[in-house]
């Protein structure tokens, strides 16, 4: 059945959203144009491309791009496209271009910053044509703007707009919290990217990330199973021995549903949100104490307390990034289509921190974020079911009414009310930003 | 004299070859049995094939030399295997509700190393078809088994799974061992 085009101005209300926002391919095209191909999108971390000529490909909106390190150490973000006939410049996901890019079709070559280097038999072939060497159309096109914050590379395909810092605003804490936890103030990438495709609209994933109500429902099977094995291990443990625990899994069962309200969400302009929560716990095991000592030496007691006192579970950098800074992990969103979303999942090492600290968060990376995840399988099942359900005529709206009306407006940001951690404020905030972008 | 010697050598050679064949046969049966348990979803018995300190490991790519302290798709001891089993058997494991099943074929079994005590290193290839709802996925690659000979039969010290499609993007995820 053909439908009237939906009126964008009427699809988002403060506490509910039209289902077409998730399922309409035309709206998807528009949001790629008006959101993803405008705002600052995460490209990758500098340490992914340590040497001159190293490149990594990525997608910004619908645009195949590449991030590359030049001989001068500078990072460029280019459209992965030869200006001659449009051939993609590199076909691998990552690699090293050598001293320059060379198109595999007709051997046009380009410097690492995209500038034309040579066209074969240029004089005989192009004299008198409009394709002069200084014509910018003969170079690889660059992303309009590139900025790096503490090693994290972002690009915007729009000439104008807020700077990266203005755009991120208080969401900068995602990168500060991650880097500050290193005694050297820096992180480096663990050279492995887990890539998982979700069969659902990209917004469904972002909405789930700060949804504190879902874990004890969606993940109870994992929580219960982990808790049962913990109990068995406890029984088997010899006197004086501490049995192994799987806190990050068993919490889904041991933290009862009402307890998740102890979280708080803080919602910022541009759709960014922070979920504060249990990761602020300070364990007292020997590994942590050894790490604390190194940190105090590097920063002094006062600054150290500030750093480890940051109580963040999750930061959403809308519309493309979900960061778990205390675990040094992030998931970048690459929408592939209205109902297909690629997540690129990275883990970072705190430079100068003991190996044990790296291994602790690595365990989370492997158990929760790997393609054989013990947790996300049930999320992805829900996302798919959501997307399928939203394709039906059974209802027109997706509702975000939980604790609606109780959000607290505090000069530029909105907090969920005390003891309302399961509030749907983050979804309301994301859709508010979405509507503002789409109105443009 | 010479004739007798020749006969003895021949006999011993035959015995050695037969021994080799019977090891080859036994190990093939073991690998087929392991794959069969997966396809029949007999998780408990499948886990039982591992030695107490056994590890199931799927590295993200072939260059990895250890599971210890590296990113891994799977790196599980028997405790974690039991968490995974408990999860998929839980009535509210939502992703387990839809119909799904697998079919493994294991082949190209090569005896890489055999120790005097009967312990073995075995390489093989696998192909797995998975049906989930209406979707079919294929996974294929190489197994490396470090097997310990015990009175109950072989037990797995280490199973390394180098899946050819491990590095590709995953359309959905893996929920149980491959």
- Asked whether residue A187 falls in the same domain as residue A299, the answer is yes
A318 found inside a domain: yes
- Asked whether residue A174 falls in the same domain as residue A73, the answer is no
- Asked whether residue A145 falls in the same domain as residue A180, the answer is no
pLDDT per residue over A328-369, tens digit each?
A: 999 999 999 999 999 999 999 999 999 999 999 999 999 999
Range of the domain at A342: 169-212+263-439
Q: What pLDDT does B10 receive? A: 84
Which phi and psi angles does A218 have, rounded to 5°? -65, -40
Banded model confidence at residue A147, pLDDT cuts 50, 70, 90: very high
- Asked whether residue A269 falls in the same domain as residue A404, the answer is yes
Question: CB of B174 within 8 A of CB of A371?
Answer: yes
Q: Please tell me what DSSP assigns to residue A200.
A: S
Does position A282 have pLDDT exceeding 60, yes or no? Answer: yes
Q: What is the average pLDDT across A69-86?
A: 97
Mean of per-residue pLDDT scores for chain B: 93
Contacts of B143 (CB under 8 A, 6+ apart): B31, B106, B122, B123, B124, B125, B126, B159, B160, B161
Does position A3 have pLDDT exceeding 80, yes or no? Answer: no
Domain at A298, CATH number: 3.90.380.10
Is A380–B85 a contact, with Cβ atoms under 8 angstroms apart? no
Q: Please give the residue of chain A at the shortest CA–CA distance from B175.
A: A372
Q: Please give the residue of chain B at the shortest CA–CA distance from A376.
A: B173
Domains of chain B listed by start with CATH number: 2-167 (3.10.450.50)
- Nearest CB partner across the interface for B173, out of A355, A376, A382: A376
Is A224–B86 a contact, with Cβ atoms under 8 angstroms apart? yes
Q: What pLDDT does A285 receive? A: 86
Is B71–A371 a contact, with Cβ atoms under 8 angstroms apart? no
Q: What pLDDT does A216 receive? A: 83
Give me the residue label for tokens 């804490």.
A173
Does position A5 have pLDDT exceeding 80, yes or no? Answer: no
- Asked whether residue A330 falls in the same domain as residue A280, the answer is yes
Assembly ipTM: 0.93
Query: Six-digit token pair at A109?
Result: 């070559």
Q: Testing the interface with A: which of B61, B69, B83 to mutate, by most A Cβ within 10 A?
A: B83
Does position B21 have pLDDT exceeding 60, yes or no? Answer: yes
Neighboring chain A residues of B79 at a CB cutoff of 8 Å: 229, 233, 244
- Asked whether residue A194 falls in the same domain as residue A56, the answer is no
Neighboring chain A residues of B169 at a CB cutoff of 8 Å: 195-197, 342
Q: What pLDDT does B1 receive? A: 72
- Asked whether residue A194 falls in the same domain as residue A97, the answer is no
- Asked whether residue A364 falls in the same domain as residue A420, the answer is yes
A100 found inside a domain: yes
- Asked whether residue A144 falls in the same domain as residue A272, the answer is no
Is A233–B79 a contact, with Cβ atoms under 8 angstroms apart? yes
Does position A297 have pLDDT exceeding 90, yes or no? Answer: yes
A155 found inside a domain: no
A114 found inside a domain: yes
Does position A278 have pLDDT exceeding 70, yes or no? Answer: no
> Which residues from A are below 8 Å from B when comparing CB atoms?
190, 192, 194-199, 218, 220-222, 224-226, 228-229, 232-233, 244, 246, 249, 342, 347, 355, 358-359, 362, 365-367, 370-374, 376-378, 380-382
A241 found inside a domain: no
Banded model confidence at residue B88, pLDDT cuts 50, 70, 90: very high
Q: What is the average pLDDT across A416-423?
A: 86
Alpha helix locations (H) across A210-259? 215-218, 220-236, 247-254
- Asked whether residue A294 falls in the same domain as residue A416, the answer is yes
Q: Cα distance from B83 to chain A (closest Cα, Å)? A: 5
Is A225–B85 a contact, with Cβ atoms under 8 angstroms apart? yes
Contacts of A391 (CB under 8 A, 6+ apart): A19, A23
pLDDT per residue over A165-221, tens digit each?
A: 999 999 999 999 999 999 999 999 999 999 999 999 999 999 999 888 888 888 888
Neighboring chain B residues of A195 at a CB cutoff of 8 Å: 168-170
A419 found inside a domain: yes
Question: CB of A339 within 8 A of CB of A23?
Answer: yes
Q: Cα distance from B177 to chain A (closest Cα, Å)? A: 8
Q: Cα distance from A250 to chain B (closest Cα, Å)? A: 10
> Which residues from B are below 8 Å from A when comparing CB atoms?
58, 60-61, 69-75, 79-80, 82-96, 168-175
Most confident of the following: A269-278, A340-349, B14-23: A340-349
Mean of per-residue pLDDT scores for chain A: 93
- Asked whether residue A73 falls in the same domain as residue A192, the answer is no
Q: Total structural domains in chain A?
A: 2
A144 found inside a domain: yes
Report d(CA B155, CA B137) in Å as an integer.
Answer: 29
- Asked whether residue A193 falls in the same domain as residue A115, the answer is no
Instruction: Indicate the SS3 state at residue A401.
Output: coil
Q: What pLDDT does A50 receive? A: 97
pTM (2 d.p.): 0.93
């Amino acid at each position: 059945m053909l439908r009237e085009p939906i009126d964008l101005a009427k699809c988002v209300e403060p506490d509910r959203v039209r289902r077409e926002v998730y399922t309409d391919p035309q709206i998807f095209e528009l949001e790629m144009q008006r959101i993803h191909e405008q705002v600052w999108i995460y490209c990758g971390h500098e340490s992914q491309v340590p040497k001159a000529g190293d490149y990594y490909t990525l997608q910004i909106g619908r645009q195949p791009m590449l991030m590359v390190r030049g001989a001068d150490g500078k990072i460029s973000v280019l459209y992965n496209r030869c200006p001659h006939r449009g051939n993609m410049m590199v076909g691998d996901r990552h690699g090293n271009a050598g001293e320059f890019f060379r198109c595999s079709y007709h051997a046009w070559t380009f410097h690492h910053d995209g500038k034309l280097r040579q066209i074969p038999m240029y004089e005989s072939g192009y004299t008198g044509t409009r394709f002069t060497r200084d014509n910018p159309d003969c170079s690889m096109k660059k992303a309009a703007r590139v900025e790096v914050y503490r090693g994290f590379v972002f690009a915007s395909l729009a000439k104008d707009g807020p700077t990266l810092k203005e755009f991120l605003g208080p969401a900068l804490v995602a990168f500060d919290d991650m880097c500050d936890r290193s005694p050297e103030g820096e992180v480096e990438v663990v050279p492995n990217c887990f890539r998982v495709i979700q069969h659902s609209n990209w917004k469904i994933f972002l909405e789930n990330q700060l949804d504190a109500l879902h874990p004890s429902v969606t993940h109870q099977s994992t929580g219960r199973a982990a808790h049962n094995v913990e109990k068995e291990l406890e029984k088997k443990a010899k006197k004086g021995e501490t049995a192994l625990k799987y806190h990050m899994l068993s919490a889904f069962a041991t933290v009862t549903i009402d307890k998740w309200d102890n979280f708080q969400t803080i919602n910022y302009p541009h759709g960014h949100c922070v979920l504060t929560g249990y990761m602020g716990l300070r364990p007292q095991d020997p590994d942590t104490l050894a790490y604390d000592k190194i940190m105090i030496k590097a920063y002094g007691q006062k600054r150290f307390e500030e750093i480890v006192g940051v109580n963040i579970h999750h930061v959403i950098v809308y519309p493309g990034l979900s960061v778990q800074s205390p675990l040094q992990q992030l998931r970048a969103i690459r929408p592939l289509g209205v109902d297909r979303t690629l997540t690129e999942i990275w883990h970072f090492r705190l430079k100068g921190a003991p190996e044990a600290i790296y291994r602790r968060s690595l365990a989370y990376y492997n158990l929760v974020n790997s393609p054989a995840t013990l947790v996300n399988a049930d999320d992805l099942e829900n996302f798919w079911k959501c997307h399928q359900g939203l394709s039906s005529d059974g209802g027109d709206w997706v509702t975000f009414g939980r604790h609606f009306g109780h959000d607290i407006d505090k000069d530029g940001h909105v907090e969920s009310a005390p003891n309302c951690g399961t509030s749907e404020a983050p979804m309301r905030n994301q859709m508010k930003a979405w509507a503002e972008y789409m109105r443009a | 004299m010479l004739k007798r010697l020749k006969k003895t050598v021949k006999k011993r050679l035959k015995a050695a070859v037969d021994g080799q064949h019977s090891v080859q046969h036994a190990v093939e049966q073991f690998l087929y049995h392991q794959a069969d348990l997966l396809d029949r979803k007999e998780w408990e018995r499948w886990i039982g094939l591992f030695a107490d300190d056994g590890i199931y490991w799927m590295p993200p790519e072939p260059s990895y030399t250890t599971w210890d302290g590296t990113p891994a798709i799977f790196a599980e001891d028997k405790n974690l295997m039991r968490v995974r089993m408990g999860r998929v058997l839980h009535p509210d494991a939502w992703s387990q509700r839809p119909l799904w099943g697998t079919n493994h074929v294991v082949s190209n079994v090569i005896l890489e190393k055999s120790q005097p005590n009967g312990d073995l290193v075995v390489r093989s290839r696998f192909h797995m078809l998975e049906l989930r709802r209406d979707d079919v996925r294929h996974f294929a690659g190489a197994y490396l088994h470090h097997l310990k000979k015990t009175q109950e039969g072989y037990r797995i010290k280490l199973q390394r799974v180098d899946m050819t499609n491990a590095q590709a993007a995953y359309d959905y995820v893996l929920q149980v061992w491959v």
